[in-house]
Structure formats: structure tokens, C-alpha cells
Structure 1
Amino acid sequence: MLLTAAGLAAGVALVPGRSGDLIVVFSGEMKGYLSPCGCTKPMLGGIARRGAVIERLARGERPILLENGDLTAADGRQDELKAETIADAFGAMGYDAVGLGEKDLELGEEFLQAIQARTSARLICANLTDTAGRRLFARSVTLQRRIGGVRRTVVVSAVMARRQLAPEGFRISDPAEALKPLARAGDVRILLFHGRRQDAEALVRKVPGFSLMVYAHGPDTPAPPVRIGSTTLACSGTSGKYLGVARLSASGTVRSVSSVALGESVGTNSRIEAIRRAYLARVASENLLDMAPRSPLPAGAAYAGTEACKACHSDAHRVWSGSSHARAMGTLRAAGQDRDPECVPCHAVGVAHEGGYLDGKLPSLAHVGCESCHGPSARHVEDQGIRPPRGGPASCSPCHVPAHSPKFRYETYWSKVRH
């Protein structure tokens, strides 16, 4: 048996299995990442790339498609739009089940029930009820598949770690107790566990009998799978950048676990891309960028715009003009995300503050300009004796975070724009 967590940057050439194996595609903690995001190539992820990989895998026996919770960050209206978009995309891709995570619960029961009504993918969690003990979602889904020429019943269950604090209106019971009735159901059993690896290991020792357990809250990249008894534990990473792929025999033995990196070379699925584009259109139509909260600037401070700096700082302006900072909004426009309030703050000046860049307005504040690093400088333009702050690593860190810019090193990047 081969167990590997090697991410495959190109295509979907998976580790060797056998013809007729059951293919299980799994991932978790999308955190609302519908598109590739970052300023370091290769950028990974995106639901349209996910759709392309799944389309290829589905050309043989139909795979089982699973997601292990935390679809979004559950932070306001935009994440509601994302959750609806993910539901639409999962329905189009033929997802079988979504195990719920703590972030999903923050969307509220009413919204989650609307999501369930919107998609064919079943929302499941065996140890979740309301405070009165009423079950809110199914404990499991039962699927029929031919594995190695034999018709088998596959039961997919989901639980959350009890340590997760339940939002108001929900109750999370002991996962081991909730799973006992399911540990012998069907011919092949798969568990989506929304909890950390150490909790997953403890749980599988209490309730054996599952072939594959997918856990959460692991590293950002796929973790090496481990085997405890007859159960293989696996985690696919976060933010929708990878898909885990497990191959199981008719007896439920996990033959292999691999991962597929959702890089540019895997292509895109046009139907899922259309769903993503429809989401961006909704973000724009609801004017979410201009509705984003903005904090006031210090008394007397105001933005001047990059062109106001050119007359006195021509050499610095020339260096800036040749940098990717000067084209930052252009990259968003090309991707159709120039009205996305999650993207624009790192591609324009002062979006988080009053007087900063607005949707399509104040073009002098478009792109990563002088005041992105030096702060609002209108008073300096009027009186050169008032010195703006010097830039430095602290100016870069809000946007060049590891998730979006994993190769960022201040000294290396500064050498490209030194002025």
C-alpha cells in the first residue's frame, strides 16, 4: 500500500491504484477562497480548477466528493454570498456531503437550512443539535458504489470536536457517543471529523471501524496520512488549494492517499467558472466595496495621490512606475475582482480609511502607491517640512502575509523597488 501526501503541481496524475477502486475526493476549511489568491506564483486554488480536476476523475467510476467544514470565515454579507456560491458549485460538481465546522455554525441555523435547500450536497453532523436536543442536520449519507466490480454500501458520517465552542442556539455532544450507532453501518465507512489531528487519533481509538477519517485544523498544505489500526487519517490542507484523493478497495482498505495541487495547469471548468463570475457580479451589484467599514484619519490628514509626489520625487516615481505595484489594480481588473472588498485593500491606497480609494472613484489612489507605505501625505505636499513616515517591513506585512505571499522576504522585495 502506498500512502503519500506529495502535492502534484501539474495535472491529476495520481499515485497508482487499481482499476475499480473507490475514489474519494476530500478537502476542508475553504475559508471562502473561491479564486486563486496571492502575489507569488504559482497561485493555487479556486473552485473552477477544482471543478476541472473533479470532471477528469469522474470519467471512470463516480468518485465520492466530500468537504470537511468551514466553507467561509462567516464574516458578514460577503461570506453569505460565498456560502451560496459554494453551495451552487458543489451542486454542479455533484458533491455528496459537507461536514459542518464551527465557522459554518456562525452563519446561523436559518441560513444553513437555506443553503441545504439550495444544493444537492448534504450538510451532515451527527453530534449537532439545537439547545433543546432537536437534530438539525442528517448524521450521515448512505451511498451505493461499485468497487472492484462489487456493489457496496458506503456510509459517510460527520462529527465536530466537542472542544469547539458552539454559537448560540447550537449544542455539540460527545462525538464518540454520536458515532457508535454508525461505526458498523454499511460496508465501507468514512468519517469527516472537524477537529485537530490529536483529537482525531483519540476518537478513532474510541470508535474504530472507519476506513478513512478526514480531519481538520491541520497545516495549510496536505499532511502525511497516518494509519491507526484499520483507519487512515488524512488532511488536505486549507483554503481550497489542494484536493485529497484516497483510493479504497471493496473491503474498505485504503490503498493510497495523494493530493492534487490546484495550479494553473489543471485548467478550469467553464460551468464552475460561470458560477464564480456570477458571485463577483453579485458582490459588485451590492456595492460591497463602498459599504466596507472605514476608519477616520488623524485630524488634518488626507491623501494626495501618487501623481502629487512625482514633481519632487521623480526618480522614486520612475522606479515605482516600473514595478508591479504600479499595476496592482490592473491585475484585479483582469481577474474581474476590482470591486471585491477582500482584494482591493491590497491593490489601492487607503481603502480602510475615510478619504481613501473608492469603487471606480479617486483614480489617483488606484494601485499600490506612495501613500500605501508612507501614509496620507497631503500636508507634506503643501509643506515639505512635514515629513511623512518612512516605509519599512511594517508597511508590507498587512498584505504580504504567508498565505498570499509565501516567498516574501523584505530585503529581497525591497531591492526590486529601492528608491
Structure 2
Amino acid sequence: MARRFTFLKQLRDEKQWPVVAVDAGNQVRRFGVQPVFKFQRTVDALKQMKYDAAAFGRDDLRLPAGELFAVVADQNQDGNTPFISANVALLDESFTPRYRVVEAGGQKIGITTILGDEFVSQIKSDEVPTASVADGLNIVWPKLEAEDCDLYLLLAHASLEESAAIARQFPKFDFVVTAGGLGEPTHEPEPISNLPDGSTTKMIQVGTKGMYVGVLGLFPDASDKFRYQRVPLTDRYDDAPEMRRLMKGYQDQLEAVGLAGLEVKPIPHPSGNRYVGSESCGACHEDAYDVWKDSAHSHALDSLVHPGERSDIARHHDPECLSCHVTGWNPQKYYPYTSGYLSLEETPRMAHSGCENCHGPGSAHVAAETGDEDVSEMEILARRAAMVLKLEDAERRCMDCHDLDNSPDFHDEGAFQKYWDQIAH
């Protein structure tokens, strides 16, 4: 987001281009108190970046309707809400604009958005009125067409397949911008096949996690009317200070309310065991412990407490970051297990990514080995075996944290072996 704003400012201020900014939806990816905070901050960011249109994403609509309404209503007071939809509304159908016409550079851009039928079927709240994509666009398209725009955009929060099917059913859109697909977006817009009447609708993928921005240029007097470029938001773009302030405010908010305020509560581990800390492992497994101490895992939390990049924005109160940088959390669902990390003050032994994140909580194994629990030799062996993580299973366990979003390089061919060699024990 911080780099995106810098990029937009370069287009607007340095190149003096008239920019129409749009978003295909999903500002959050789960529900709960923290995603509500994140949605609020992200909508503030969209407003500051002067976004003209945004779709509602599937996960946005899993947030409480009242919270969604409050955020979007606040934007509506200034007449600046970017959210529009042909087939989704909040609380009342009259509240959410169905489409928008934006004038820029002497050109009229007609925009609407849809939430795919697959996702619409998952909405169970009476406070979020919905219609099928076809019903919504059958109402909206004639109104958009009557505006006689120079460019028609459909922002589709839907799968690739459904986005293409919608384009075939409503072929007058010049471009369908889809949130569907995984990983990197395509380099060029893709022509949609089997369109009626010789239409030439193309589909643009946005990719995941906002790591790219797609730039579609409209050159009305050129033989090549549309030009497109996919731009990776690398560190060539400095962080915009406005977004840095928003990011810091968000982290400060998480710190102020704490885990309790975020309704993040420890639950027992499915195994029934408790975490004991890597030092307990090292009492017997000295060689393996030394390997761990020399690895990045042994100081994983430091990168959140004292981040090298964005050093003014500590993130060690953020469950979505903590879950893979401490011991004893569910890495994909962002909650701690009983006896897992809570804070540097309360649970310093659980700081960083310890042995038990891969091997599981070790209380039963340690109790058997130390004699704290009187068990048979067979039970001792069984508890030892339960702590063993076979190499063929290790890659899958690693990907709980090193997923495609956070560690794309980890998914290259041969990457696991390269990284395993660094921590082999």
C-alpha cells in the first residue's frame, strides 16, 4: 500500500497523467476484530489514494454488516466512497451506488463491480442484500450504456472461469478486471474467447496481496487505443509517508487493545500437550539445538520487534505476524495454543520460532524422559516417535509459514532442499 501510493503520486504529479484508480476487492481475508480494524485502515488508505471504484470482496462481506456500513457510511458523508456494486448492497439497496462514471483526460470511464455467484451463495446475512450477477448487470448495464462512455470496466470479484463467463454474457465491457487466479498476474490482458458479435473484451488479472499494479492506458487518437503494463511494486518505490502513518497507527491500535481486545484467546493444542520451549529440547538434543541457535528461526521475533525495513513500525503485537515468528501459535489461523507465546514479558521462552513449531509441543516427551511422569519403556519410545518429523513431511510443515504469500521463493523447484541444507539436524 505504501509503495502503491508513491507509484500513483508519480503518475499524477510527475507524469501529470489523469489517473482513475480501481480495486477488485477483498481488503481483508478473514473475520474477527483485527480484520475490522484492518478494513477501517485500508478504506482510509483508498480514500487518501483517491480510488474511484472498489468492489466488495468475499471476505470483506464476512465482517459484521454494521461495521462495514459504519466504515463505508463515513466515506459516503464526503461523497467519496469507492465502493460500488451491481449485485451487492449494505443494509439497504439504495445505499450502495450501482455504478460510477468517471471523467478523466476528457474521457468518460464507466465502471461497475460484481461479486461472483459462487461467493454470493456464501452470504447468509439479511443485512447484505444480494442478487445474481446476471440480475444485477441486467439492471446496471443499460444505465451504463446510456452514459455513452469511452471505456467500460467491469471489476469482478470472482474466479477466472466465472469472470470469463460473465464477459461472454455481457460482452460490451472493454475489460474485465478479475480478482481470480493465484500468484502473479499475467503480463498482458487475455482475450476472452467465444464472445458474440465479434466483441473484443479482454481480462486483466490483479494477482494476490497487492504486489503488482496493472496500468491500463487509454489513447483515444492512437491506432493502438489501449496499452497495458504490469508493474511490480518493488523497493524501487519508496514508502509514502501518508501510508507509513496509517500503518503505524494500525499497529499502535493492535498494541493498545492487546490480544484480549482482539478476542484472541489461547486454546488447548489438539494433541493435549503443552509447549516447553527450545531450551528444554536443548538439554538432551545438544547438536540439533546448536543448529537451531545458529539459524534465523532462533531470532525470528527480532524482525518484528526491530524490523530492518520500516524500522519505525514494530509488528510484534500483530497476531497475523506473530503466528510465524513465535512458538506455540497456529500459523494460518493466528491464535495461540495454551502455553504458547503471549508476550515478551509473560512468555520469553516462547519467543522466536522454536523446535516445537515443527515437532509439536513436547511436554509429554519431556516428562517421560526426565522421570517427571512414570511411564513404561514402550510409552517412552512411543512419545519419542511422536516427536519425529519425517523429512518427507517436513516440506508441508514448513509451508504452514513459508506459504506462497510470504515466501514465494520457497516454492521454486528445489527450494526446499536448499533451505533444508541450512538447518539440517
Structure-2-length-normalised TM-score: 0.79
In 2, Cα distance between equivalents of 1:202 and 1:395: 37
SS of corresponding position for 2:337: coil
Displacement after TM superposition at 1:370 (Å): 1.8
> Corresponding residue for 2:323?
345
1:395-410 correspondence runs (5 A): 395-408=397-410, 409-410=415-416
SS of corresponding position for 1:155: strand
Tell me which amino acid in the other structure corresponds to 1:237.
G
Mean CA deviation greater in 369-378 or 80-89:
369-378
Count, aligned residues = 368
Q: 1:272 aligns with which of 230, 233, 243?
A: 243
Tell me which amino acid in the other structure corresponds to 2:55.
G
**Cα 1:142–1:129 shift into 2, 3 Å:** same
Tell me which amino acid in the other structure corresponds to 2:398.
C
RMSD: 2.5
Residue identity (%):
28
Q: 1:98 aligns with which of 33, 54, 67?
A: 54
> Corresponding residue for 1:30?
none
In 2, Cα distance between equivalents of 1:208 and 1:308: 64
Displacement after TM superposition at 1:90 (Å): 1.0
Q: 1:54 aligns with which of 3, 8, 15?
A: 8
Displacement after TM superposition at 1:326 (Å): 0.8
> Corresponding residue for 2:84?
124
- Is the Cα–Cα contact under 8 Å of residues 241 and 261 in structure 1 kept in the other structure? yes
**Cα 1:327–1:121 shift into 2, 3 Å:** same
Matched, 1:157 2:115: no
Q: 1:141 aligns with which of 96, 100, 124?
A: 100
Q: 1:203 aligns with which of 151, 160, 166?
A: 166
In 2, Cα distance between equivalents of 1:256 and 1:214: 15
In 2, Cα distance between equivalents of 1:66 and 1:286: 32
- Is the Cα–Cα contact under 8 Å of residues 69 and 90 in structure 2 kept in the other structure? no
**Cα 1:74–1:389 shift into 2, 3 Å:** closer
Higher fraction of strand: 1
> Corresponding residue for 1:212?
175
In 2, Cα distance between equivalents of 1:58 and 1:98: 19
> Corresponding residue for 2:63?
107
Q: 2:230 aligns with which of 234, 259, 276?
A: 259
> Corresponding residue for 2:23?
67
Q: 2:355 aligns with which of 364, 370, 379?
A: 370
In 2, Cα distance between equivalents of 1:184 and 1:300: 64
In 2, Cα distance between equivalents of 1:379 and 1:205: 59
Higher relative contact order (CA 8 A, sep 6+): 1
SS of corresponding position for 1:58: helix
1:180-329 correspondence runs (5 A): 180-188=142-150, 189-223=152-186, 224-228=188-192, 229-250=199-220, 254-288=225-259, 291-297=263-269, 301-329=273-301
Mean CA deviation greater in 156-165 or 380-389:
380-389
Displacement after TM superposition at 1:158 (Å): 1.7
Displacement after TM superposition at 1:62 (Å): 2.8
In 1, Cα distance between equivalents of 2:202 and 2:272: 61
> Corresponding residue for 1:20?
none
> Corresponding residue for 1:5?
none
**Cα 1:305–1:134 shift into 2, 3 Å:** closer
Mean CA deviation greater in 177-186 or 50-59:
177-186
Q: Deviations over 1:146-202 (max 9, x none)?
A: 2xxxx2222222223333313322222324413232134243222212223333333
Matched, 1:76 2:32: yes
> Corresponding residue for 2:373?
none
In 2, Cα distance between equivalents of 1:111 and 1:163: 24
Higher fraction of helix: 2
- Is the Cα–Cα contact under 8 Å of residues 244 and 259 in structure 1 kept in the other structure? yes
- Is the Cα–Cα contact under 8 Å of residues 191 and 200 in structure 2 kept in the other structure? yes
In 1, Cα distance between equivalents of 2:191 and 2:315: 42
Tell me which amino acid in the other structure corresponds to 1:354.
T
Where does structure 1 lack aligned partners over 5 or more consecutive residues? 1-46
Displacement after TM superposition at 1:382 (Å): 4.5
**Cα 1:307–1:248 shift into 2, 3 Å:** same
Displacement after TM superposition at 1:82 (Å): 0.7
Displacement after TM superposition at 1:298 (Å): 6.6
Displacement after TM superposition at 1:209 (Å): 3.1
Matched, 1:391 2:389: yes
- Is the Cα–Cα contact under 8 Å of residues 294 and 354 in structure 1 kept in the other structure? yes
In 2, Cα distance between equivalents of 1:371 and 1:347: 12
In 2, Cα distance between equivalents of 1:251 and 1:362: 65
**Cα 1:186–1:116 shift into 2, 3 Å:** farther
**Cα 1:278–1:197 shift into 2, 3 Å:** same
Displacement after TM superposition at 1:94 (Å): 1.2
> Corresponding residue for 1:14?
none
SS of corresponding position for 1:201: helix
